[in-house]
Structure 1
Amino acid sequence: MRLVFAGTPEAAVPSLRALIDSPRHEVLAVVTRPDAPAGRGRKLVRSPVGALADEHGIEVLTPAKAGAPEFLGRLRELAPDACPVVAYGALLPQRALDIPAHGWVNLHFSLLPAWRGAAPVQAAIRAGDEITGASTFDIVKELDAGPVYGVVTETIDPADTAGSLLQRLSRSGARLLESTMDGIGDGTLRAVPQPGDGITYAPKVTVEDARVSFTDPAAALDRHIRSVTPDPGAWAGFRGERVKLGPVVVTGENGLAPGELRVERKRVLAGTATQVVALGEVQAQGKKRMAATDWARGTRIEQGERLS
């Protein structure tokens, strides 16, 4: 099939690569978010999806809005059979959805109808789900509510962060998306409406959402930190500033008040509402990320000080 692929971040790259390499499909163009400033020099940088398209000499479209007349005009000229989508990052108006003959087919990183929305991987980890996955579905006006073509499941490991889980899902999801496009192309695959129950939502996670509360139980705190690692990154207050926190280990020990710190030779412990946790990596403002023990030695933590 003739395809126009829409996507932006690194998680969409395996899917685009699979479709470029597929002998059954031709990627006519790629739609991605406009180049954005990055790094200390704040130079404009192409998205990971756009960069891969450039490597293969594929046309890259970067509309500020997907409803822009010039973008819609170019899409009509390309006349794709379908538009596969992976984490594009912008809303698609109906006049764009109507252009490809087989619509826009989204790869979403959850088992729909669970965790519709912008942050399904983070939500699954935070909720303590044991199984998640990815779904391909036909995009409709309502958020992530279109009929589903196929799913793939993935076990959530106890140590998974949002980053590690998304990396695995991006690979298994790429295979799912390719097989979905194959089935649509040869007419053997039909989408099935989503169930009306079991619907949950996963809104975008903000920096404020990533703040750690040590008044939570240790298990919930552990899941919360892993769910926002690496982005936007868990953090807590210490001496009036923010410190970023990497994943922790639940020790099974007790004896510290919520947020209270205790420095040992090989561990830095913090209290929660239940068990004590051992801190992993810590990054103070303006500093590099380091082991909690190195941070504690440099900071000279006093007895009774707390993370808040």
Structure 2
Amino acid sequence: MLDTLSHDPGLVTFSALAKAAGLRNSKEFNFSRDEKRKGFRGDAVAARFSATNAIGDRWQTLTPEQQYAIAVLVEQAEQAETLEAALLALPGQSNASDEILKGTFDESERHFISDALRTFPIKFDATQARTIASFNLPDDYGSLSLKALSKIVPELERDVINYDEAVRRAGYQHHSRFYTGEIFKQLPYYGKLLVGYTSPQPTARDDDERRFGKIPNPTVHIGLNQVRQLVNALIKRYGHPYQIIIELTREFGASGDRRREISKRQAEAQHRNERYDEELTKLGVRVNREPPRVSWRLFGLSHAAIATGLARCR
């Protein structure tokens, strides 16, 4: 089944995958129950490189680092002639490869790619170099970094386990938690935290965008950057906030009755808070923060519970 996916750059139907895997029918795939899904897209990169007029079956013998490096070299090249020269020079380093990689990611990433290319085990001839230089690789991105994949994939290859278990064995706490737990004094660029949600921007002028990528939606990209600048400016002037409340528009498409219900509930909460504020003011407590209100509400609930218990005992 994996061989089928790695040799077909297009959509591989669930029926074809079931046949390749020796399954009775495509219904054994849980994704096939989704009417919007017809199959999985194959590995377009592997399919192109493993073509007989390119690298062929030797593609599968390359290390993940070597596969990644040659794919980056092809994807980043702007001129076919420069790329052909770089391919013909492999496994040696050349001015052509340096020219292609000079604007790629950061210095450590360039060294990583260059080291992988220097150990490349294949010597291309002119025909192969011309074929590979004509590749138009898909402009896409993965949800995990190469570092995370290098830890997770071996676990999946080692044993028949679910993805979440492979993630745990790889040393991560949860399959959706790839952050380090670092606490920042100010909000960093969002791409540093939203791993898997950004698209690579290797030619971006901004250092953060080039290193961490950015969200393709320009409105979201600008909005997140503006929020970061605003919050950091407030922190600089007033110090770190006690809490940040974010209001979402998830009820935007609610019906008229639902919106009225929400408005009624909000009004009740507002009146309750105003009542709490009056009581707290009488006690000389500042009311511009939430904790005093919560404490006062808990105080009221505890008294109500005690009164209810006493009434039941009578």
TM-score band, normalised by shorter chain:
under 0.3
Greater percentage in strand: 1
Q: Which has the larger radius of gyration?
A: 2
TM normalised by structure 2 equals 0.26
Greater percentage in helix: 2
TM normalised by structure 1 equals 0.26
Point out which structure has higher relative CO (alpha carbons under 8 A, 6+ apart).
1
